[in-house]
Amino acid sequence: MIRFISRRLAQTVLLLFGISVVLFLLAEAVPGDYFSEAQLNPNISADTLQALRSHYGLDRPLVVRYGYWLASVARGDMGYSLAYNQPVSQLLFPRLGNTLLLAVPALLTCWVLALVLGVLLAGYGGKWSERVFSLGSSALLATPDVLLALLALLIAARTRLFPAGGMHSLATADSGRLSSARDLAWHLFLPGCVFILSSLAPIVRHVHAEMKEVLQTPHVRAAEGHGISRLRVLFRYALPAAANPLVSLFGVSVGLMFSVVLVVEIVLGWPGLGPMLLEAILARDMFVTIGGVLLSALMLVLGNVVADFLLYAIDPRIRVQA
């Protein structure tokens, strides 16, 4: 087990290292930097720009800059944001917290919904409900996340039941822990719903397909033949047998989650990683971009690690192998 963890850790570090090298090389290959925009301003002289560049070390060779950046990662700063004049980690970590606050509960809810829906449909669905499901889920799959998020915003604006964006309201800023938690949940609801709607379809389709396959296997039919109730057969005997590929899908869905949550955050004004990354890209604030991408890769790796542990916990076959 310890060998497994340490190997995984080493792999992750190597992976992140590789990603950072590639991103640095890409940035180097393309002309222009954070101060390129200022060149167009006639009030800023070329000397000033040169001074700024050398102040921030942008005029040094690539290897030196990469070395400095690595040292800064080792210090836990992850580089320096030129737009905010702050270490990148101070900018990104609170944002990452907000993203996870939105994404983790939403992803878990999504999985619970998908499991219940997929299993019940595979177990009880007739011809027509299957058809409706297949049509509905593919329509949901085909709806752009952007459209769903905008629709949510429209609903919030029209009904005034939900706040149109943001994470806190000013009124409850310091009115006790309970009411600010309630306020947070109220703000969380719509982005969470959009997130669930846009990630539900692929997951529920997979659950359904796996369950359909497992329901044909001899051991499930034997369980049925013993007169065990349908519901118990489905959740006690069929679902665990279908769990293996689904757990792997869970790891993949973490990556999917990050792509969906980016759009949701930007449209609905949730102060997570997404808006910050977009802003950094538009301003060519390179270290923030690299930091954001590295964090997202790290989260994807973490998702896969969680999936591995889950697999180890629920699938005895893997425990025997390991």
Partner 1 sequence: MNQHSRAVISGVLLLAFHAVVVLAGFFAPYNYATQDRLHPHAPPMSAHFFDCSGKFHFWPFVYGLKDKEGSFGQYERDCDSRYPVRFFARGDRYAIAGAFSLDVHLFTVDEPGRIFLLGTDGFGRDQFSRTLYGGQVSLFAGLLAAGICVAVGMLAGTLAGFYGGWLDATLMRLAELCIAIPALYLLLAVRSYLPLQVEPAAAFALVVLVIGSVTWGRPARLVRGVVLSARERNFVLAARGFGASSAYLIRRHLLPETLSVSLTQLAVLVPQFIMFEITLSFLGLGVGEPFPSWGNLLSQAQQYHNLVSYWWLLLPGLAPIPVLMAYYALSTALQRRLDLKGEEIIG
DSSP symbols for 143-209:
S-HHHHHHHHHHHHHHH-SS-SS-S--GGGTTS-HHHHHHHHHHHHHHHHHHHHHHHHHHHHHHHHH
What are the Cα distances from residue 178, in Å, to 47, 164, 181, 185, 192?
55, 22, 5, 11, 20
CA distance 101 to 290: 22
Q: Which of residues 3, 55, 127, 158 is near partner 1 by CB under 8 A?
A: 158
The H or E element spanning position 81 is: strand 80-81
Nearer Cβ to partner 1 (72/143) = 143
> Taking CB under 8 A as the rule, does residue 19 contact partner 1?
yes
Residue 295 contacts residue 44 (beta carbons within 8 Å)? no
CA distance 209 to 5: 32
CA distance 85 to 93: 16
Q: Shortest distance, CB of residue 60 to partner 1, whole angstroms?
A: 19
Q: Shortest distance, CB of residue 200 to partner 1, whole angstroms?
A: 15
Q: Shortest distance, CB of residue 257 to partner 1, whole angstroms?
A: 8
Q: Shortest distance, CB of residue 289 to partner 1, whole angstroms?
A: 5
Nearer Cβ to partner 1 (157/181) = 157
Q: Which of residues 107, 200, 276, 301 is near partner 1 by CB under 8 A?
A: 301
* Residue 298 C-alpha from the chain's centroid: 10
Span near partner 1 by CB under 8 A; candidates 2-10, 156-164, 229-237, 238-246: 156-164
Q: Which of residues 18, 67, 76, 97 is near partner 1 by CB under 8 A?
A: 18
* Binding flags for partner 1, 110-149, as an x/- string (CB under 8 A): ----------------------------xx-xxxxxxx--
CA distance 315 to 245: 11
How many binding residues for partner 1 (CB under 8 A)?
Answer: 50
CA distance 34 to 4: 42
Nearer Cβ to partner 1 (234/273) = 273
Nearer Cβ to partner 1 (25/112) = 25
Please give the torsion angle defined by the CA atoms of residues 188, 191, 197 and 200, in that order, rounded to the nearest 10 degrees: -70
> Taking CB under 8 A as the rule, does residue 244 contact partner 1?
no
The dihedral through the CA atoms of 189, 193, 194, 199 has a sign that is positive
Q: Shortest distance, CB of residue 6 to partner 1, whole angstroms?
A: 19
270-299 binders of partner 1 (CB under 8 A): 277-278, 280-282, 284, 286, 289-290, 292-293, 296-297, 299
* Residues found near partner 1 in the complex (CB under 8 A): 15, 18-19, 22-23, 26-27, 29-30, 32, 138-139, 141-147, 150-151, 153-154, 157-158, 164, 255-256, 258-259, 262-263, 266-267, 277-278, 280-282, 284, 286, 289-290, 292-293, 296-297, 299-301
